[in-house]
Chains A and B, each alone.
Chain A
Amino acid sequence: MDADEAREETHKGDDEVVADDVAAAAVVKFPNTVFHDSHGQPVVHVDRGVWLELAQFLRDEEQFTQCLDVTAVDHVLDAARFLPEGVHAERFEVVANFLSHPRNRRLRAICQVPAADPQVASLTEPYPGVNFAEREVYDLFGIEFTGHPDLTRILMPDDWQGYPLRKDDAPARVPVTFKEDPGP
C-alpha cells in the first residue's frame, strides 16, 4: 500500500463514526488504523509495525491495566473471511484483548501478519502477563514475537516439528502406534 492510499484509508477511518473514544484516539495516533464495531465490541485493526506502540499507548495514556489475552488466527482456508474495509488481508491475524479496570471497558486490537515473515513485536514489556500466551501462539502457530524473553514451546514437546494450529497442519499427521502393533 503506498502513501497516498494509506492517507485515504486513514481519512476513511476518520469519516466513519467511531463510537469508542479510545479507538478514535488510536485511529488518529496511528496511521492505517481501522476501527470496527464487532457485535458491539470496539476493535482496532493496526499495522503490525505499531503493535508495541499501541500497547504502550493503551497502558500509559488510556489506563488499560491488563492485556488479558493474546492469540492468533490462521485464515488460509476460510470459506468467507470477515474483514472491515481498508484492512489488507494476510494469512495470520494476531489478536490482543485489553481491559481497563478503572474505566471498565475493553478494546481488542488485531494486526495482520504475513505467512512469509511471521513476526510481530512482543507485548511482554508493557504487559508481562502475556508471556505464556505469546509462547502458546509461537508454539501452535509459529509466529515469532520479537523481544520476548523466553520464546520456547510451551504446550508441545520441545522437539516437535510443525505448528499444530495452522490449518495446513492436518490432524492425525503423526500416526498413533499401539503396543504390539507391527506399525505402518
Chain B
Amino acid sequence: MSATDVPDAERLERQTDEGAQELRPTERELPVTGMPWPEQERDGDTMIINLGPQHPSTHGVLRLMMELDGERVLRVKPIVGYLHTGMEKTGEELTYVQGGTNVTRMDYASPLANELVYSMAVERLLDVELPPRAIWIRMLLVELNRMSSHLLFQATNGMDIGALSMMIYGWRDREDTLRLLETITGLRMNHNFIRPGGVAADMPDGWEDEVLACCDSVERGVHEYEELLTENPIWQERTVGVGTITTDQALALGVSGPILRSTGFPWDLRKAQPYLAYDEVDFDVIYTENGDCFDRYRIRIHEIYESIKIVRQCVEKMPLGDYRVQDRKVTPPPRARIDESMEALIHHFKLFTEGFKVPPGETYVAVESPRGEIGCYLVADGTGKPCRLHIRGPSFYNLQAAGPMTEGSMIADAVAIVSSIDPILGEVDR
C-alpha cells in the first residue's frame, strides 16, 4: 500500500527526507480571545452554559464554559483540574526506579511515551549510553503505542460526531495493538516497561510474526475507516472547515503535534531533532494546510500508516544484543546471579530499596508523543529521589486552542472540535 492508493493523497502533503520543507517564520497578530473570564454579561441575550465535566464528549472530566448567543458560541473557557492527583508531588516521593510507575499513568492513552521521556531524562543526568537493541525495542513499542493511541482517537472521534460503527471498529483494532503490547510488556496499559537503563525484558519468542500480523490487521482496519469516513459526505459536512486554526495561532498558543501539523507546519520531533533511532528509519511527516477537524482526522489516519511503516522496519532491522545497560548501579543483576554472587545480591537489594543516586543537575528532554511534544524537566539533587519532576503534557497546551477554534461556530461543532484536539485529561491535570 503506497501513499498514492489513498483516495485523498493528492490533498495530503508529505515531508520526505529529500524535499525537506523550509519552515516559514511567523508573523504574529495575536488572535487569542476569550481569556479573561468571566466578565459581566454583555447583554441579556447571551447565555453561559457548562459543557461537562460529566459530558461524554469531554473524554473524561473537562469542563467547557461557553457563552452562547442562540446556538452560536461566543466565548469558550476550558476549565481543568478535576483529575488532579498531584502526580508531580508523588514523583518527588518515589525513587528513580519507581518513577516509571508514576509517569506512565499521566497520559494513559500513550503510557510508553511518558515512560520514554522520563527514562531519557534520567539517563541524560546519569550519562548512560544504551545498547542498540534497547533503543530499537523502545522505538518499536512507542510506535505501536502511537498506533493504539491514534486508533483510540479514531474511535472516540467517530463516536463524538455520530459515526457509532466507527467506534466499534476503532476499539476492535486498538484491542489488537493492546493485546500485542500485553504479549510484549505483560500489561495492556500503564506498562512501566521502558525504564531508566533500557527496557524491563527482552522481546518474547516469536514476536516478529505477532507484530507483523498486528500491523496487517491494523492496516486493513484503517483502510476500512477511510472507506467509511474520508469520502463520506456526512462526515465531511461535520468536519471540513470546522474549528479552523492557523499556524500563527497554534504556535502562539504552544500547540504541538498533529494539530500544529494540520495547519501546514511540518514539525515533528522525530524528524527535526531525532532521538532513539528515528534517523535510521524511513518515514514521512504528514501535514495538511487547512487546520480544520477533517485535517486533524486525516493526519492521524496517515500517521498510523507511517507508524506501521516504522514498526515493520523495526522488525526487519532489530539488532541483537542486550536490552538494557550492564551497569549494576542502574540495572538489577540477572536473577540467576543473585544465588551465586554476594555482590549481585547487594546490588539487587540496594537498587530496589534506596534506588540509585543521580548527580545534581537539571535537564529537559522532549519526544514526540501521539499528541505532540511531551517533555520531562527533571531536577536531581544527588539523592535517590528527584528534587522536581515536571512533565510538559502536550494536551495541557493543546487544550488552550479550544477557545480560538470554537469561537464563532455552532454548539454542535464544539463537540467535534474538542474531540479533534484529542485531549487526555490524565495528562492535563496530572
Contacts and interface: CB of A to CB of B under 8 A. Distances in A.
A, B: real partners: yes
Interface of A: 38-39, 41, 43, 63, 65-69, 71, 73-75, 78-82, 95, 97, 101-102, 104, 106, 108, 127-133, 136, 140, 149-150, 153-157, 164-165, 171
A127 B252 contact: yes
Interface residues of B, number: 54
B44 interface: no
B72 interface: no
A165 B254 CA distance: 23
B396 A66 contact: no
B251 A66 contact: yes
Contact of B89 (A69, A81, A101, A171): A171
Q: Chain B CB within 10 Å — which of A39, A41, A81, A164 has the most?
A: A39
Given A73-B388, A78-B381, A128-B32, A68 B375 contact: yes
Interface of B: 23-26, 30, 32, 35-37, 80-81, 84, 86, 88-90, 93, 124-125, 127, 251-256, 265, 267, 272-273, 360-364, 366, 373, 375, 377, 379-383, 387-388, 390, 392, 396-397, 399-400, 429-430
Contact of A74 (B35, B265, B362, B388): B388
A136 B89 CA distance: 13
Given A39-B125, A128-B253, A132-B400, A164 B86 contact: yes
B375 A97 contact: yes
A68 B89 contact: no
A97 to B, nearest CB: 5
Contacts of B25: 63, 65, 102
A80 B382 contact: yes
8 interchain residue pairs of minimum CB distance: A129-B254, A82-B360, A80-B382, A155-B84, A155-B81, A78-B381, A129-B253, A69-B392
B375 A127 contact: no
Contacts of B36: 149-150
A130 B253 CA distance: 7
Contacts of B32: 128
B89 A39 contact: no
A93 B124 CA distance: 21
B359 to A, nearest CB: 8
A41 B363 contact: yes
Given A81-B360, A102-B25, A164-B86, A68 B399 contact: no
Contacts of A65: 25-26, 251
A132 B403 CA distance: 13
Given A41-B364, A69-B377, 6 more contacts: A68-B375, A73-B379, A82-B362, A128-B35, A128-B253, A171-B90
Contacts of A156: 81, 84
Contact of B86 (A38, A68, A171): A171
Contacts of A75: 387
Nearest to B35: A149
Q: Chain A CB within 10 Å — which of B254, B377, B396 has the most?
A: B254
B337 to A, nearest CB: 31
Nearest to A165: B89
Contacts of A68: 254, 256, 366, 373, 375, 392, 397
Contacts of A133: 254, 396-397
Contact of B124 (A39, A106, A131, A149): A39
Given A73-B387, A171-B89, A39 B400 contact: no
A113 B88 CA distance: 20
A167 B392 CA distance: 20
B254 A130 contact: yes
Contacts of A140: 88
A78 B360 CA distance: 10
Contacts of B388: 71, 73-74
8 contacts: A38-B362, A71-B388, A78-B381, A95-B362, A101-B251, A133-B397, A156-B84, A165-B88
Contacts of A106: 364, 366
Given A132-B399, A156-B84, A171-B89, A38 B37 contact: no
